[in-house]
């Protein structure tokens, strides 16, 4: 791991994401990490997700968030068929990573897993999604808040874990690397991770050879849990009180995958596709 001082400018900007639970006091647009905005509009998105309420899915409002006199829902979408296993998908924890949000309608359209209940929580960070901000309405990074639960959004995620008892969690993200990869926690074995990367590649997704820190991925697309990574996460939680959902899941014995498509890509379909394909592929393994 290079020291912070020697990191290229983009990477040192990225490093602040790993040092602060609250980097701002308000939503903040990212201007330096090369995010290509997609065609996303919050109200239209909420309407599109709500429209799935019906015979196949139940759509509920889990919480609301108010910012500048406007109130936005955090929705859950649950498949109605009873099933022994539950797959929880978190979409939009970081508001400016729009591909994972835009993937939700096609994920629901394509959903046909037998034996698996699907629960999608989205948008986890509605104000961030509207404001093109990683952070929530008070400048908190929700995905660093799984120790203190200072944010209503992290508390909603915790409540959904408590209620739904998921057997598997997928959190949909994007990052500044040039292609798609996934982080897996210790409960996703390496063979499963590699097979899921193969499934993405078969669907036409380009897998990254390096993660966003520049570390080589072998096989391409897979950043598996390691003893070093787990030690870093432990220190992070103990010294900075920061924890991401992937470690929170690990604490609870739940396998989690964090998918990271490339926010630098201008091809919206290519950014959305891995999210849709991964949810279907994970459901087939459960």
Q: Which residues of this chain interact with Zn ion, rule CB under 5 A?
A: 94, 97, 173
Query: Are 77 and 58 within 8 A, CB to CB?
Result: yes
Q: How far is the CB of 191 from Zn ion (least distance, A)?
A: 26
Q: How far is the CB of 55 from Zn ion (least distance, A)?
A: 33
Q: How far is the CB of 93 from Zn ion (least distance, A)?
A: 6
Q: Which is nearer to Zn ion, 259 or 276 (CB)?
A: 259
Q: How far is the CB of 182 from Zn ion (least distance, A)?
A: 12
Strand partners, 5: none
116-122 and 70-79 as β-strands: parallel, antiparallel, unpaired? antiparallel
Q: Which is nearer to Zn ion, 200 or 244 (CB)?
A: 244
Closest CA to 250 of 174, 146, 154, 152: 146
Cα angle 93, 140, 167 (rounded to 5 degrees) comes to 35
Place of tokens 């996703």: 188
Residues 6+ apart with CB under 8 A from 285: 192, 195, 196
Residues 6+ apart with CB under 8 A from 177: 208, 210, 211, 212, 260, 262
Q: Which is nearer to Zn ion, 94 or 98 (CB)?
A: 94
Q: Which is nearer to Zn ion, 161 or 263 (CB)?
A: 263
Q: Which is nearer to Zn ion, 93 or 116 (CB)?
A: 93
Q: How far is the CB of 94 from Zn ion (least distance, A)?
A: 3
């Amino acid at each position: 791991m290079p020291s912070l001082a020697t990191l290229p400018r983009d990477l040192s900007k990225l490093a602040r994401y790993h040092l602060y639970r609250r980097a701002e006091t308000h939503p903040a647009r990212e201007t330096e990490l090369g995010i290509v905005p997609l065609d996303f509009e919050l109200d239209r998105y909420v309407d599109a997700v709500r429209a799935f309420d019906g015979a196949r899915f139940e759509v509920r409002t889990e919480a609301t968030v108010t910012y500048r006199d406007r109130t936005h829902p955090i929705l859950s979408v649950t498949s109605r068929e009873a099933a022994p296993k539950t797959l929880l998908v978190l979409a939009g924890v970081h508001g400016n990573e729009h591909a994972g949000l835009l993937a939700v309608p096609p994920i629901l359209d394509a959903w046909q897993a037998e034996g698996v209940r699907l629960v999608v929580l989205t948008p986890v960070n509605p104000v961030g999604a509207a404001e093109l901000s990683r952070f929530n309405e008070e400048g908190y990074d929700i995905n660093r808040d799984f120790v203190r639960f200072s944010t209503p959004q992290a508390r909603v995620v915790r409540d959904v874990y408590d209620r739904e008892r998921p057997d598997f969690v997928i959190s949909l993200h994007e990052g500044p690397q040039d292609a798609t990869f996934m982080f897996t926690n210790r409960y996703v074995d390496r063979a499963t991770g590699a097979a899921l990367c193969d499934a993405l590649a078969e669907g036409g997704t380009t897998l990254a050879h390096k993660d966003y820190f520049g570390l080589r991925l072998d096989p391409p697309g897979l950043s598996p849990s390691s003893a070093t990574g787990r030690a870093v996460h432990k220190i992070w939680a103990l010294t900075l009180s920061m924890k991401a959902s992937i470690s929170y899941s690990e604490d609870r014995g739940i396998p989690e995958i964090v998918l990271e498509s490339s926010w630098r890509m201008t091809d919206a379909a290519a950014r959305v596709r891995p999210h849709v394909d991964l949810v279907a592929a994970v459901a087939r393994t459960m």
